Amino acid sequence: MYDYPNALAVIRATQPDESITLLRPDAAKRAARFFIENFSGKSIYAVKANPSPDLIQILWESGITHYDVASIGEVRLIRNLLPDAVLCFMHPVKSESAIAEAYHQHGVRTFSLDTHDELAKIARATHNAADLDLCVRIQVSSEHAELSLAAKFGADADEVADLLVATRQLADGLGICFHVGSQAMSPNAYSDAMERVREAIIASSVTVDIVDVGGGFPSVYPGMSPPDLRQYFNVIHDAFEDLPISYSAELWCEPGRALCAEYASLIVKVEKRRGHELFINDGAYGSLFDAAHIGWRFPVAYLGDDNTIESHDGFSFYGPTCDDMDHMAGPFMLPADIGSGDYIEIGMLGAYGCAMRTGFNGFGETLRYTVSDAPMASVYSRQENDNVISFEAFSKS
């Protein structure tokens, strides 16, 4: 089933000049099981985080049956891969043709919206269908998140009541949804957002059938060590139980990063060293967009046969393209004597890293191998073993 036991075995066997993506199916299976067993509602995978067909199939076989699709392309992808999956079109702004195709051709019955205009589009495109689950997205704070998602979508507080009342007229099932931002580092993000849900329900006096708390569930990265995910689930469950909602109302969540971050890592080769800058063969236009553009740090490890312990320094990376913006500031902690020809594994790239790769400047293709070892970091193993992972002490081994 696995191509190699670990990254070092890949290097020994292939000595690659291209970057290599390593896939860990067991990590994705474990993440899916964790949500299914611990979240007291429905877990809907946010496809945008990683639309890999292999990953989608793994999640399906692990019990994830619902998928958050954000474009007609994602609708087509999941419907072709999984004919029996339930698709939820949760982008609040869609073309009328996308809504129509999703509804009439692909069986999509769940849509989100945050304006009266979008509600009207859904009504027209579905011919005023009577079997719709419609989720009104409300604006909530992203103050507890590492990456804000508060600016682009969500109905303002003074608009929500009228929009809920209007949506209730068309919806078979009425929902309220929100997104607290990516990599929410405190369960308070959800308790605060659920208070906004409470206020919206009271202001509108409508019966709500679905409460969708969105994504934002964190993974673990250097400098970001979140609480146990079960603390998040408990806060959400308690707040849901206290809402003035239908006795049969459903609780949903939309994990993306938390389900796939540990699924993939990257092997890169150092092509040049200049001081504390390493020129590597992947970068901002490949798998390292987040490292370049929002300063995300990822766990790194030197891959080599030298078992001696060396001191570590902080390095930045330059990617392979001709663009100065192809730069990852880091710092990434690596052996002080690392140099040209050495290999590095960069972990936790299953979320967004795999999804945002481009072909700019002729770069972008990577080889792919499955490995059987554990991911370089894990929010799940940490919770199971109650140990804290250190990222700053990877030895040259």
The CA–CA distances, whole Å, from 79 to 52, 55, 186, 309, 356 equal 14, 15, 35, 51, 21
Active site residue 260: no
* Residues 6 or more apart whose Cβ sits within 8 Å of residue 116: 162, 163, 166
Question: What secondary structure does DSSP assign to 70-125, as a single string?
Answer: -SHHHHHHHHHH-TT-EEEE--SS--HHHHHHHHHHH---EEEESSHHHHHHHHHH
Kindly name the residue from 135, 253, 322, 354 that is annotated as catalytic.
Answer: 322
**Which regions of the chain does DSSP assign to beta strands (E)?**
20-23, 42-46, 66-69, 86-89, 110-113, 133-137, 145-147, 173-177, 182-184, 210-212, 250-253, 264-274, 277-280, 300-303, 312-318, 327-335, 343-346, 367-370
The total number of residues written for the chain in this structure: 397
Q: Which of 238, 149, 222 is nearest to 190 (CA)?
A: 238
Q: Which of 53, 43, 104 is nearest to 74 (CA)?
A: 53
**Known catalytic residues?**
322
